[in-house]
Chain A
């Protein structure tokens, strides 16, 4: 019998959309063959290292570099004075503020960069750092944003206290901006008249993305041809090139920025750090390559933190539980400089997604940004801009409202979900949600975990606890989240003026394989695997025959990079569109080869066939070959295309999570018994990659909810500068995750995909936190702040009298 290749076989051979294709990058990662910045060694390369401030707030009275310069092997010690003539002692931040590259007269946070030592190797550089003598005069330290707003102490002496900042008027010398969305008077009126109002204040603590690989770069100025090459841990290499050009005056075509393999970013590698600027200057001055790679403590103490939001909410409802209004105010602690990485017009990111998955008719959000003596940052750690904060806020407010109403919070959510038929849905705070089917997802999730049964078990446990038969209580954490990802439409989203489109360029080779390049950059997301799948389905070439390249600005088309789950919604869309351009040309070539009219052929998996005569066809391989070897009238040779995609809207992935947790009230130790995660990210490109992203994001959510924190003492000393104290969960702490999904495609995305890398983090944090809080609800708990480490859980039990 003849082995016939069926249409299904041909579809399978593509390894396109929906295929759980193994990650092509893993072969090198699992064999230690990755190529990270610190693996780079160029001839004559020097190493830089920072002298950092031990104080959180101090005036610098002198810097003496003599002893350091005298050390054999030290080439230079840069201070602000050396950078000033170049205008590089300060640099602009992504948030419209400016930041010291090297301390200019004073330091504003512990770990701030004071001087940059350049030496022959890393060891000499570290020795020299110890020899730089800096005299400080300590100033009063402010670590609390509320105290900051009342303090006479001026943190930022460089700013005119009366002049407006990048985002409008400032109320106080330590105030950065006020950002307001929605109708405050209307919201207050609704809340004042409501049957039921629940109020709560909550602190979303400061934490840190802590990628396994810290930040670093190698700068190499070639004085002969005038070209600067910068390899670095950049989540947005093209933007770095533009910024480097604007700052240095070097023309953009003479700058090449390369992001090699990146060991995780999670938002930490979006911004520009003093180390990059100093390395560039040092390479320009010395004429040889200069490497700077920070260590773990420097990463935790000085590069971009996440969260640090003090949120106060009021939510009102009818007696039946229908939510009528939401009021939210945030005091945002931005540290010493406003270095948030948000689209320019959104100083608090997309915090105005805080109405969540609920049909709330009226709402108001006000955010005040404040300076303190803490490290700058405010990046989106595994979330779109401030979306974890927003989702945590609303998912806690729902729980608090349920407590106020003595109602089951699963039911309260169900009553208030935006209904399927309301999409596209315009939220009270200005977003247009593209698609959703929340009720279906919620019902599926609750059924999967036997929610009713869990509640019964919990009630029995409470009774057993009260009878003294157990010291372990049980919590059921719920969360339903809607994200806003895929920034974003150029009409309202830009970073430093660069519109947030993204791009894909593809060249089909004569033998029918291809190389595609995108403006994004993978940091572990598996782009080389999944983008090839999108292209495979669009073009009809197997994903295995498509190389994906990103991160080299000399070869890749301009794009805004990878963060905020934007790669699939934006660059993934560009990939689909570029595929369609290829297909359009291929169709003409096929028609010519088959000697029929263009409209008489149609695409079928991996070929064009004559309509009604499927035995007459040209495969994509044949078409590619013809594109290069045959003169076709009216058609240029070659088969390549580029697409720049400006998304018409954001995408809105959503999901339903349930966590079942036991808590030992005597020790404060939580044990996760079960974690169920249903995600709807629209069209699913690679279920296995999705599953991997969910596991990773949930684990980072567990970390943040249960202990991961950047904490300071009153003197502004960072107390969590090593992995002994900064909680990174290991396999031991992580439960078995059950994953599930529904599929509600995005109506405006070319393939209906929404992005998924950050969903588990966004939905996971409130779910873990709600589980802890729910365990204590029967004993009178209303709200306690994260992180729920052992002692804070213990304290909740203690405050509720459970140790008496």
Chain B
């Protein structure tokens, strides 16, 4: 558990970080909270000759809520997400989900930017961002561009982000929809056996809109259009929930690991999705 030697860079602005990235290409990586990257370096599964610490870059910090738009800097920690009352008012699902990530020590360090950029299927924020239909702002040598969370993830640890780009902000619309983040894990500090984010709005007695996404049930987060469709227009009764669960399960592809075999994960996923939908509906 001893990493190989590396150069440590600590730029104070994005341009500085981008120039180190440009200079060293594949040999350089940015460091946010370090709670995914540093363990990989210690296990020598990641070889990073040039580490670019982002913590001095002020524009990557802070949570802004402007009208109906929430903008979160990439370096905002999970702890800051939990304690922000303004964010809780704008999108309460953020707190509920962040509280289920790891433990307080990890959350003091781990950032939202690192969590969504990492591309680990076990990370909880990517699925949540898809549920919120968030946009990711990326900055590179050629300037700034915006991409959708729902298009971002290609495979485990593979995202649409170019190696020489930095994720600077995450943007989504404030939402007062009924919400739930449901997660089963073996213990505090564990990644999900199955997790599901749900946002549901109500029109009278029926579902006006639904957004269901899942974590650690495929090699990428899964946003299930079919599950949403199965709920919209229904009264979210048992039959509708069952149909939505069936649709969501069609979209996932879990693999066996120490948490259990596929058969178990499919079953638990169904339960967790149903619970997320039911809780979100009860709050809609």
Residues of A within 8 A of B (CB): 49, 122-123, 125-127, 130, 295-297, 666-669, 707, 711, 719-720, 723-725, 727-730, 732-733, 789-791, 794-795, 798, 803
Contact = CB atoms under 8 A, between A and B. Distances in A.
A790 B258 contact: no
B154 interface: no
B271 A666 contact: yes
Interface in B1-49: 1-2, 4-5, 44
B267 A730 contact: no
B258 A711 contact: yes
Contacts, number: 66
A669 B264 contact: no
Given A707-B186, A733-B188, A794 B2 contact: no
Interface string B247-262: 0000000000011110
A728 B186 CA distance: 10
Q: 7 nearest interchain CB pairs? A: A791-B260, A126-B2, A295-B1, A732-B188, A791-B264, A666-B271, A730-B188
Nearest to B264: A791
Contact of B184 (A122, A125, A790, A803): A790
27 contacts: A122-B2, A123-B2, A123-B5, A125-B2, A126-B2, A295-B1, A295-B2, A296-B1, A297-B1, A666-B267, A666-B268, A667-B268, A668-B264, A711-B258, A723-B189, A724-B191, A725-B258, A733-B187, A789-B260, A790-B259, A790-B260, A790-B264, A790-B268, A794-B260, A794-B267, A794-B268, A803-B267
Contact of A789 (B103, B186, B189): B186
Contacts of B5: 123, 127
B193 interface: yes
Which of the listed residues B184, B186, B268 has the most CB atoms from chain A within 10 Å of its own CB? B186
Nearest to B189: A730
Interface in B226-279: 258-261, 264, 267-268, 271-272
A669 B184 contact: yes
B41 to A, nearest CB: 12
A774 B25 CA distance: 59
Contacts of B267: 666, 794, 798, 803
A730 B187 contact: yes
Nearest to B190: A724
Given A733-B188, A791-B259, A130 B44 contact: yes
A294 to B, nearest CB: 10
B271 A667 contact: yes
A125 B2 CA distance: 9
Interface residues of B, dominant DSSP:
loop
Contacts of B103: 730
Contacts of B1: 295-297
A727 B186 contact: yes
A790 B268 CA distance: 10
B184 A667 contact: yes
A732 B4 CA distance: 35
A728 B267 CA distance: 26
Nearest to A789: B186
Given A790-B259, A790-B260, A794-B267, 11 more contacts: A49-B2, A126-B2, A127-B5, A130-B44, A666-B271, A730-B188, A732-B188, A789-B186, A789-B260, A790-B268, A794-B260
Contacts of B186: 707, 727, 789-790
Given A130-B44, A720-B258, A727 B2 contact: no
A668 B260 CA distance: 11
A471 to B, nearest CB: 9
A791 B271 contact: no
A729 B187 contact: yes
B68 to A, nearest CB: 36
Contacts of A789: 186, 260
Contacts of B189: 723-724, 730
A481 B251 CA distance: 50
Contacts of A733: 187-188
A470 to B, nearest CB: 14
A295 B188 CA distance: 22
Contact of B187 (A122, A297, A727): A727
A667 B264 CA distance: 9
B241 to A, nearest CB: 14
By CB atoms of chain B within 10 A, which of A669, A732, A733, A791 has the most?
A791
Contacts of B187: 707, 727-730, 732-733
Select the residue from B1, B191, B258, B272 with max chain A CB neighbours within 10 A.
B258
Nearest to B4: A127
B4 A794 contact: no
Contacts of A126: 2, 4
Contacts of A728: 187
Nearest to A803: B267
Nearest to B191: A724
Contacts of A127: 4-5
Nearest to B193: A790
Nearest to A731: B188
A104 B219 CA distance: 42
Nearest to B194: A667
Most buried by A among B1, B2, B5, B264: B2
A723 B43 CA distance: 13
Contacts of A795: 264
A795 B260 CA distance: 10
Contacts of B193: 790
A137 to B, nearest CB: 25
B191 to A, nearest CB: 8
Nearest to A725: B258
Nearest to A732: B188
A631 to B, nearest CB: 63
Contacts of B264: 668, 790-791, 794-795
Interface in B173-203: 184, 186-191, 193
A597 to B, nearest CB: 67
A74 to B, nearest CB: 14
A535 B264 CA distance: 57
Nearest to A791: B260
A667 B265 CA distance: 9
Contacts of B2: 49, 122-123, 125-126, 295
A723 B102 CA distance: 13
Nearest to B184: A667
A616 to B, nearest CB: 63
A711 B272 CA distance: 27
Contacts of A730: 103, 187-189
A727 B103 CA distance: 15
A240 to B, nearest CB: 26
A431 B275 CA distance: 54
A697 to B, nearest CB: 19
A667 B271 CA distance: 7
A668 B185 CA distance: 11
B39 to A, nearest CB: 9
Contacts of B191: 724
Contacts of A729: 187
A790 B190 CA distance: 13
B173 to A, nearest CB: 32
Contacts of A798: 267
A727 to B, nearest CB: 6
A789 B190 CA distance: 13
B229 to A, nearest CB: 25
Contacts of A720: 258
A541 to B, nearest CB: 44
Nearest to A792: B260
